[in-house]
């Protein structure tokens, strides 16, 4: 990015209002990724802002947080978010040491829980200007 140019980032950062099955799935996948040294989006938190600040090349920073429901009912984005999570879990299931039937049951339970607990993901839009 040239001096005076803008950088825009969109990060899915935090999943809130988790049920017990949702916590188990996310923890299992996150632990696997961490054990392999893979930086995963569920554990990003404030690392992006910290990274931008330590570059000493960023002047202005704007942050906008949006809460997107993960659900099978309602708007397009909620359904898209649910579909993304279930696909991600199914792909990651190939790498975990769980029985396939047990894992598929967990995913089905996750799909029910997100509606019951009104699970949301927090997306953070970060816009910053380079010196």
The mean per-residue pLDDT over the stretch 51-76 comes to 87
In degrees rounded to 5, what are phi and psi of residue 27?
Answer: -65, -45
Inter-axis angle of helices 76-92 and 20-35, to 10 degrees? Answer: 50
Nearest to 126 by CA among 69, 70, 17, 50: 50
> pTM value?
0.78
> Does residue 45 carry a pLDDT above 60?
no
HSE, CB side, 13 Å, CA atoms: give it for residue 23: 6
Backbone angles phi, psi at 71, to 5 degrees: -160, 160
Tokens 């049920």, residue located: 19
More confident residue, 43 or 50: 50
């Amino acid at each position: 990015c040239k001096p005076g140019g803008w950088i825009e980032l969109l990060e899915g950062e935090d999943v809130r209002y988790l049920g017990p099955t949702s916590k188990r799935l996310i923890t299992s996948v996150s632990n696997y990724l961490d054990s392999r040294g893979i930086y995963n989006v569920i554990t990003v938190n404030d690392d992006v802002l910290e990274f931008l600040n330590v570059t000493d090349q960023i002047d202005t920073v704007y942050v906008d947080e949006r809460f997107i429901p993960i659900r099978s009912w309602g708007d397009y984005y909620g359904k898209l978010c649910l579909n993304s999570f279930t696909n991600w879990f199914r792909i990651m299931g190939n790498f975990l040491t769980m029985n396939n039937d047990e894992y598929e049951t967990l995913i089905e339970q996750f799909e029910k829980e997100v509606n019951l607990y009104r699970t949301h993901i927090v997306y953070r839009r970060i816009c910053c200007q380079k010196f």
